[in-house]
Structure 1
Amino acid sequence: MVTNAEQQRIHDNAQGKANWYRWGSYLSERQWGTVREDYSDYGDAWNYFPHDQARSRAYRWGEDGLGGFCDENGEVCFALAFWNGQDPILKERLFGLTNSEGNHGEDVKEYYFYVDNTPSHAYMRWRYKYPQQAYPYDELVRVNGERSRQQPEYELIDTGIFEGDRYFDIEAEYAKASPEEICIRLHIANRGSNPAPLDVLPTLWLRNTWSWKGEQPPGHLFRADAGIIQLKHPALGTRWLYCDAFQGQTPTLLFTNNETNCKRIFNSANPTPYVKDAFHTYLIDGDRAAVNPQLIGTKAAAHYHLTVPAQQTVTVQLRFTNQPVDAAFNDDFDKVFHQRQQEADEFYATLLPHASPDDRLVQRQAIAALLWSKQFYYYDVYTWLQGDPAEPKPSAFRLTGRNAHWQMLYAKDVISMPDAWEYPWFAAWDWSFHCVVLSLVDVHFAKQQLLLLCGKRYTNLNGQIPAYEWAFGDVNPPIQAWAAWKVYQYEKETTGIGDRVFLEQIFHRVLGNYYWWTNLEDKGENDLFQGGFLGLDNITIFNRSAPLPTGGYLEQADGTAWMGMFSLNLLRIAIELGCYDRVYRQMACIFLRHALSIAQAMNQIGQDNQLSLWDEADGFYFSALVLPDGQEIRIQVYSLEGLAPLFAVAIFEPEPFTLEPELKEDLDWLEQKRPDLFDNCAFLSVPGETERILFAIAKPDQLKRILSHLLNEDEFLSPYGIRSLSRYHLEHPYVLNYQGHSYSVNYEPAESTTGDFGGNSNWRGPIWFPMNYLLIESLQRYYRYFGDSFQVECPTGSGKYMTLKEVAQELSQRLVNLFRKQPNGQRPMYGEIQPFQHDPHWQDLLFFHEYFHGDTGFGLGASQQTGWTALVAILIQQLNDPNFYSQL
């Protein structure tokens, strides 16, 4: 339903009436150090293309910059550059540590914030805190290198560089006057007590698409007039960047080419004297000959030299347009900002009209950050493996190394990324969670993203969905069908019409992945699945991405649970589609049978002394280690592995099972011939007017026993959500001794103290939003079946009993409280970082961390893992709107 201007833009774009999405915040914040740019012999991506080379070396597959935008094909880019007069490097991109430099893996060492954004990118705001002293590059590398994994990371704020408020708050504000015209304001605030110099270089350039094939640039930029840069491009036509005078002074226009400085990087001759790092050389080295005196090139900037008064704010104005403008900065310029900001306010007000101001702030920044994380992503694996005609041939190692079996993958799209600096590439299960949140504000884009991920250009011919850029062949949880069902149901509830074409398309696209799992991830052919890594990094005693040191394999509680959930999601979709086409009714029978078989395998002791993954003594699910001789050992680690079976729960209205002949006939036959299948799962129905059918791996008595662990504050229940590993293992580490070797896991609430997966990811105690969200949703489903009659003690041992709905709300409140200001005025996610807790220029700027300390809630890992942590936006919606997702 279209009720405001931003919704109209979303609708018009989806209908092809106006391409409001051509330009957006699609410019990545890090291209260096990525797999795409790695042409080393043995896949050493971080060191092959380090930060120090980024200013001088042209990228092959993308671009990066500060707070910028680009077109949907990443061919024309705009970003910001700054110099405080002290730094050794022109600040054109964010700095951070590589995986080997950080004592807890890679980590960005900057403070930047996604303040606002709308789905059409008609209004955007980005904030950056730039010190007035020399940026401490060497100190950050040195101190982090000296610290052990038992010590915290050494952050930029720890250097003291922000003391005395000696920094600039720089806010980039963008407002589209039309789909092809972007008004730009740079608000630069000097927070210090003394005037401070700042060079500002808004920069426009062409992505280098030509060098790799020995071609000429397809377009160029040149000076059209004082303060005006003109661009000509065969695909995007002619455009102008108008750069307003500041205090009566027209900015100096600088031009160079987006070409590698071969002299600096490779100690060889430059094919052109004007290269990528020319503006750095011009400004910091004082070499005026570094820029093209002919005022033409493929990279251009407007150079403003400012002196910003103490505790004052100045504004620089620009306008990027496809039409020449006589008066670029008249009253209409300001009106565009006022109108777009007002429209953005109206758009977000429709989500939570009656929520608290703080809840609205958290939700809006979460969604804005997710929208800022939409990035242009280009990776043609075949070409990357083979090499380019104008470049040296890559090492033969590449044809057997990373992603060598994914030559069909061809990505050239705007996609939702986990983190535009730390993870500037897709991860399949992150991406799916993003789509669920995106459906709140842009359901068309959410559907397009799911179809893209599961489409022919990404999915392997064998049906495997790629995991992430560093290893497409790893396995992430198969949640695409779940995400598609959520998106479909949300649109159906809010508009009254479900997109059956989308649902049918996604069904067929994930079906291949379903059979890939059933054929390749069930080594014992007993409906107990492996999966390996599954995105949960170091959650258990072994690296699940590698062959086990004991030999054999794991029958994973989480891998099996994901397949149970996958079966139920496909069952729901097949039933929905079966209302229109009986073929899907027949397919629904397959998923029903498989879900029953998986539940039986998890709950029943099988033949030949096969272990059940359910431990009746402990009331918990555990994975089992199958040794080469067939012996099985239960890995008794209390973790999300054993909570994952709760995800496999679905509620069905009775009509499909009574009105669809194929499904009813198959169900009746199974109940008659294989009653054992129903003995090992929760397959129940409630009589009466509200009759519903429950299917779940965990039966009611099992659910209660699992919840006694889940809701125990000495085990899983943290003040801020559910821990990934039980706190029980703080005093009771799990240890497996096998053939003279010891393998163990213990509770670690913060960053990992081991080097597994680089050490920057930890599933041994911290709170992770995606799994918490799925647990909450599962409890809501169970409640929809049991109602108020089913109650559990929460917290365990408190004597206070709650319905499952109340438990879900309690968990949601704890998670949202990570971000909310508490009665003491502090946000738990920021811990003891005083500026974020007390300074008015910091305290309402939010990070959406990768994960959170299991005891204190302090934000950890990637600081802008906006994708799945943006699930907080849905939790806030549910807490403030009790009817939201009522039927999902």
Structure 2
Amino acid sequence: MSDAERRRLKEDAEREKNWKRWGPYLAERQWGTVREDYSADGDVWDYFTHDDARSRAYRWGEDGLLGFTDRECRLCFSVALWNEKDTILKERLFGLSGNEGNHGEDVKELYYYLDSLPTHTYAKALYKYPQAAFPYDDLVSENARRDKTMLEYEILDTGVFDNDAYFDVQAEYAKESPNDILIRLTITNHNTIESPLHILPTLWFRNTWVWGCTHEGCGLKPHMSADNETRIRLDHETLNRFYFEVSHGPNDIKPQLIFTDNETNTDRLFKTPNNTQYVKDAFHDFIINGDHAAINPKKQGTKAAAWYRLSVPPKSSIILNLRLYSEEETPTQIFGNDFDKRFEDCIEEADTFYSQLIAGSLSDEERIISRQAYAGLLWSKQFYHYVVKDWLQGDPNMPGPPAERKKDTRNRDWPHVFSRDVLSMPDKWEYPWFAAWDLAFHMIPFSQVDPEFSKYQLEVLLREWYMHPNGQIPAYEFAFGDVNPPVHAWACWHVFHSTAPRGKRDRAFLARSFQKLLMNFTWWVNRKDPHGDNLFSGGFLGLDNIGVFDRSRPLPHGDHLNQADGTAWMGFYAAVMLGMGLELASTDVAYEDLASKFFEHFVAIIDAINSFGGSGLWDEEDQFYYDQLLVDGSDKPLRIRSLVGLIPLIAVLVIDSNVIQHTKGFRKRMNWFIENRPELSRHITKRTCPKTGNTRYLLAIPPRERLESILRYMLDEDEFLSPFGIRSMSKVHAKKPFTLKFDDTTYRVDYEPGESRTALFGGNSNWRGPIWLPINYLIIQALQRYERYYGDDFLIECPTNSGNMLTFGEVAIEIQQRLTKLFLKNKNSIIPCLGHAADCLQSDSFQDLHQFYEYFHGDTGRGLGASHQTGWTALITNIFHNIAEQRSAPS
């Protein structure tokens, strides 16, 4: 039992059994995405709305509630609900579009990813469904009334969950074999009165037959039909034959099997005749409007549901059992004792898997948080389909797209992109599309649960059907050509180290990644260092609105901005590539030349940021790194104390002399460089351990005295150091905002610990004060590298002015402990990241339910932005692991 999941992972990796063929790969939102937008103006939110979604067949994917699908999203399963109060069938999560929210797009539902094995042999999620009418109009109108200085109006604020008047709808999945999926739905009425609920476990085929596309098999229309009162037969040209069986409900209530087609209701949406009598929203019309003609009386089609009409007793639960299986893997017994036993076994296997993964020294609370973070990672895998060439040109069987799409639309310079993969999403509702730098962070915790998947994810974005021929990695769906901080190499390097012990690491993965990253690094150097002086600028949107200007756009009059963080990111990139090159050179001398190249490039970047034109981007007055605005031949520091000046900390590499000794060619070139380029080699420091005689070399952007100054700012609780981690901007700007008059416009930057008050970048991304886990994690790792070099010989006052002197490693632990306080109950039993809804969340049914936000309030720790950003916020699992190691270390 203990090795069951690891055995399955091995079988899947070696292609013996296709254990990952089915999983929670169904999007939470397909409407309002770029790939479903065929408008002339590119307004994705208004072109395909939530109201359209129930009636309109999607082109590139599907969405649903608590859903499961195969890895090509051919056959989908999800749950639909009706409480006899709502005006529409609840088939998908509701949220505000980017135009409707006072802080951008925002899902307005309560749902939780509770558990999953990496093969999804067991998976569990929960949706909380109000018994009152869902407050669609209230959420839209109240958020429209609020401006950017006000908090978002959330579902808990509406009162629909007061007095426990809601259902818990829990979906569990267990696999008997790769194509035999057991489904258990548990419906709990938390109210004190009996309450009605219509529940429709729903199956449908993704519509691949109406478009005339050439990459979805032969384009034959799949078919489903009723075999009997409780079984549906499903035929698809590439899936072959499956069956779906449903159990009776409580008191032997038989569900009714209903059928329609997954095709657009053009009559409702466009006032044109439908192509088929039975359309996508038929179940809504049948159940809510009582239109019996809406469903197919022959009990066949491409969409089907089992309709249960339940009356759930107060404070009670009802269980429904369902099963989806291939004809080749038909079980001997569909339901009964074996069904329940399989769930028991899968749950035990999941418990065993995570007991081995999550450190035993963690508290019960910490273990629950870690396990749900992993569950969120695994549930955020999504089938992502986007063939840019076809999207730009339109489909053969459809009206041609507007002419504007070909000459002035998103991603027109990326016609080579052909995506049809299961990818890790930042958030399956707010960001249901891959984002390259998000994905890189996701793979750090992912490498602990599924090493092979983490390596595949990093490699796939470097493949020719994603990476641009010029070497650029696509950023994200809204604009592949945007640029995010280059962290992909770091993620590859991290995953290489973390997925196997020394001597067993995947060198082929490292070599493949390194070779493609060479192209990407060259793209950065050619495109983002316009003057060839190793000072970089332009883009770096990973820090969105942290600065004065929109840095992805050119400045007026040809003026230029040298970015301290942009330059530091490239130093970090060069340092990582140097580390990778040295590792590969230890067994292949062909990599020694490349290691030398990155060694010299890193040192050149260190020199530029510290010395170019005198003191580089270092401000002698404030003793901090700032962006530098070049106007009319003179430079002006933009004195905003933000992550812009902290990012140089992360560009640090420690090299052991024994590594250099194993690379003869590199050693020779390095020694020549040190002897013949003293103006650059002065940035390299070394020290020898008196006990071992081992020498270590330190390559870092800030020299020691500048490092001390940066740390004084970073660890000052009146500046960057929050009770919950490192802020993205110094709190000093709460009292002293930065202002700049430029080109007849006055720009102002304030400390904004919560939601953004500016519309820059849509207004839902804010780097002017909140806490972001990914940047905190990079800072923590940098501190650990400094610890490796300095040990006890460099003590830091933490917090600043406290008199408490710590090593770099101890400072790293201090920051990690502060970050964990975001998720742990405080002395008042309040979880800070959930503090904005603390009263409701104190009830028993909300205990041990965690959400993983995009970022956090810089003063209170309140969760902000996307609420299911379990991608990079799952880094909290690594932080808990580090703390556990510290606890168990000898004193």
Specify if TM > 0.5.
Answer: yes
Mean Cα deviation higher: 509-518 or 653-662: 653-662
**1:880 partner SS:** helix
Q: Deviations over 1:802-826 (max 9, x none)?
A: 1111110010011111111223222
How far the C-alpha of 1:491 sits from its partner, in A, is 2.1
Mean Cα deviation higher: 653-662 or 417-426: 653-662
* Mapping for residues 427-826 of structure 1, pairs under 5 Å: 427-493=435-501, 496-549=503-556, 551-606=558-613, 612-627=616-631, 629-680=632-683, 682=685, 686=689, 688-689=691-692, 690-826=694-830
Distance between the aligned counterparts of 1:885 and 1:268, measured in 2?
71
Mean Cα deviation higher: 209-218 or 809-818: 209-218
CA contact (8 A) 2:485 2:540 kept: no
* Mapping for residues 396-415 of structure 1, pairs under 5 Å: 396-400=403-407, 401-415=409-423
Mean Cα deviation higher: 826-835 or 457-466: 826-835
State the aligned residue count: 880
* Mapping for residues 271-310 of structure 1, pairs under 5 Å: 271-310=275-314
CA contact (8 A) 1:208 1:217 kept: no
How far the C-alpha of 1:736 sits from its partner, in A, is 1.1
Q: 2:423 is matched by which residue type in structure 1?
A: I
**1:450 partner SS:** helix
CA contact (8 A) 1:685 1:694 kept: no
Distance between the aligned counterparts of 1:22 and 1:364, measured in 2?
23
How far the C-alpha of 1:686 sits from its partner, in A, is 5.0
CA contact (8 A) 1:541 1:744 kept: yes
Q: Deviations over 1:188-217 (max 9, x none)?
A: 000011100000000011000111118864
| 1:710–1:653 CA distance, 2 compared to 1 (3 A) | same
How far the C-alpha of 1:685 sits from its partner, in A, is 5.5
Mean Cα deviation higher: 800-809 or 874-883: 874-883
Distance between the aligned counterparts of 1:537 and 1:550, measured in 2?
23
Q: 2:824 is matched by which residue type in structure 1?
A: R
CA contact (8 A) 2:61 2:206 kept: yes
Mean Cα deviation higher: 232-241 or 88-97: 232-241
Q: 2:354 is matched by which residue type in structure 1?
A: Y
Match of 2:264 in 1: 260
**1:36 partner SS:** helix
How far the C-alpha of 1:679 sits from its partner, in A, is 2.4
Q: 2:737 is matched by which residue type in structure 1?
A: P
Mean Cα deviation higher: 593-602 or 349-358: 349-358
Match of 1:123 in 2: 122
* Mapping for residues 155-170 of structure 1, pairs under 5 Å: 155-170=154-169
Distance between the aligned counterparts of 2:561 and 2:220, measured in 1?
53
How far the C-alpha of 1:524 sits from its partner, in A, is 1.7
Match of 1:94 in 2: 93
CA contact (8 A) 2:425 2:435 kept: yes
Q: Indicate the percent of aligned positions where both proteins have the same amino acid.
A: 49
Q: TM-score, normalised by structure 2?
A: 0.97
How far the C-alpha of 1:681 sits from its partner, in A, is 5.4
CA contact (8 A) 1:96 1:108 kept: yes
Q: Deviations over 1:51-75 (max 9, x none)?
A: 0000000000000000111001111
Distance between the aligned counterparts of 1:412 and 1:695, measured in 2?
41
CA contact (8 A) 1:878 1:884 kept: no
| 1:645–1:403 CA distance, 2 compared to 1 (3 A) | same
Q: Which of 376, 382, 392 in structure 1 is aligned with 2:399?
A: 392
How far the C-alpha of 1:728 sits from its partner, in A, is 0.6
| 1:17–1:516 CA distance, 2 compared to 1 (3 A) | same
**2:174 partner SS:** strand
CA contact (8 A) 1:175 1:184 kept: yes
Distance between the aligned counterparts of 2:463 and 2:114, measured in 1?
33
Distance between the aligned counterparts of 1:687 and 1:591, measured in 2?
30
How far the C-alpha of 1:683 sits from its partner, in A, is 5.7
How far the C-alpha of 1:533 sits from its partner, in A, is 3.7
* Mapping for residues 325-364 of structure 1, pairs under 5 Å: 325=331, 327-351=333-357, 352-364=359-371
CA contact (8 A) 1:681 1:697 kept: no
CA contact (8 A) 2:37 2:43 kept: yes
How far the C-alpha of 1:520 sits from its partner, in A, is 0.8
Distance between the aligned counterparts of 2:289 and 2:220, measured in 1?
28
Distance between the aligned counterparts of 1:836 and 1:463, measured in 2?
50
How far the C-alpha of 1:303 sits from its partner, in A, is 0.3
Q: Deviations over 1:490-529 (max 9, x none)?
A: 1233x75110110000001111100000111001210001
Q: Deviations over 1:213-242 (max 9, x none)?
A: 188643111001111111011111111111
How far the C-alpha of 1:3 sits from its partner, in A, is 5.7
Q: 1:244 is matched by which residue type in structure 2?
A: S
Q: Which of 230, 233, 238 in structure 2 is aligned with 1:227?
A: 230
Match of 1:317 in 2: 321
Distance between the aligned counterparts of 2:698 and 2:16, measured in 1?
44
Q: 1:557 is matched by which residue type in structure 2?
A: A
Match of 1:188 in 2: 187
| 1:684–1:383 CA distance, 2 compared to 1 (3 A) | farther
Match of 1:365 in 2: 372
Distance between the aligned counterparts of 1:550 and 1:533, measured in 2?
21
Q: TM-score, normalised by structure 1?
A: 0.97
Q: Deviations over 1:406-452 (max 9, x none)?
A: 00111100000000000000111100011111001111100010110
Distance between the aligned counterparts of 1:779 and 1:580, measured in 2?
29
Distance between the aligned counterparts of 1:884 and 1:175, measured in 2?
35
CA contact (8 A) 1:600 1:681 kept: no
